[in-house]
């Protein structure tokens, strides 16, 4: 039975967003952590810094487990141009305006994401968004960070967690700690 559980967990992880949302709720081991979100966003920023404009298309591929994992995913947008550039699970949002987009509580989420992402080390924003595979919105907190992509200085990258307890201040501490170089243990 243990081997079957491990095999199913591996299958779930490899499928990423194809897994029903009810499975995520039942198994917290496959929910994204704040540390993973910060790491993935920073990895995506470095990827786009190196790859340039050609890298945008890679974020629209929901089969690429690099940018879609557990119950989270990386999305890319432009604040100045007011457009969603890449979204692996919602291709219908790509090319659409973002700054007027409101969540289920009438919050202009991308206005706050643009402000948070413009901070030196990025930042966290709380809003209500459906989990992949669900219609009803849940509390989501996303980490946003700016990326220098070719000649576009206003590109931002984000990813988030679905969490009812953590505050943006607590998450900022996690992001700050992960940015600090690790001290060698003697």
Identify the CATH number of the domain in which residue 103 sits: 3.30.450.20
Residues 10, 107: Cα–Cα separation, whole Å: 37
Q: Any idea which of 33-42, 90-99, 117-126, 170-179 has the lowest mean pLDDT?
A: 170-179
Residue 85 belongs to what domain range?
Answer: 28-179
Phi, psi values for residue 96, rounded to 5°: -90, 155
Q: Any idea which of 4-13, 120-129, 170-179 has the lowest mean pLDDT?
A: 4-13
> Are residues 37 and 143 in contact, defined by beta-carbon separation less than 8 angstroms?
yes
Q: In this predicted structure, what is the pLDDT of residue 25?
A: 46
Residue 53 falls inside a structural domain: yes
Q: Copy the structure tokens of residue 14.
A: 């490899």
CB under 8 Å to 81, separation ≥6 — which residues?
Answer: 154
- The average pLDDT across 177-181 equals 66
- Secondary structure (3-state) at 22: helix
Residue 11 falls inside a structural domain: no
Q: What domain count does the chain have?
A: 1
Q: In this predicted structure, what is the pLDDT of residue 21?
A: 40
Residue 120 falls inside a structural domain: yes
Residue 151 falls inside a structural domain: yes
> Are residues 121 and 176 in contact, defined by beta-carbon separation less than 8 angstroms?
yes
Q: Any idea which of 11-20, 91-100, 146-155 has the lowest mean pLDDT?
A: 11-20
- The average pLDDT across 108-112 equals 97
């Amino acid at each position: 039975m243990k081997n079957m559980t491990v095999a199913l967990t591996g299958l779930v992880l490899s499928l990423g967003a194809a897994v029903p949302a009810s499975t995520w709720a039942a198994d917290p081991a496959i929910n994204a952590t704040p540390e993973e979100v910060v790491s993935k966003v920073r990895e995506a920023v470095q990827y786009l810094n190196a790859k340039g404009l050609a890298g945008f298309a890679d974020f629209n591929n929901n089969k690429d487990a690099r940018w879609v994992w557990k119950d989270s995913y990386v999305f890319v947008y432009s604040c100045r141009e007011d457009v969603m550039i890449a979204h692996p699970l919602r291709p219908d949002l790509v090319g659409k305006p973002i700054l007027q987009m409101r969540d289920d509580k009438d919050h202009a989420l991308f206005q706050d994401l643009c402000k948070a992402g413009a901070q030196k080390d990025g930042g966290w924003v709380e809003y209500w968004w459906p989990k992949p595979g669900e219609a009803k919105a849940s509390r989501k907190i996303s980490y946003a960070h700016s990326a220098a992509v070719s000649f576009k200085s206003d590109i931002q990258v984000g990813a988030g967690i679905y969490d009812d307890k953590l505050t943006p201040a607590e998450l900022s501490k996690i992001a700050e700690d992960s940015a600090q170089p690790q001290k060698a243990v003697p």
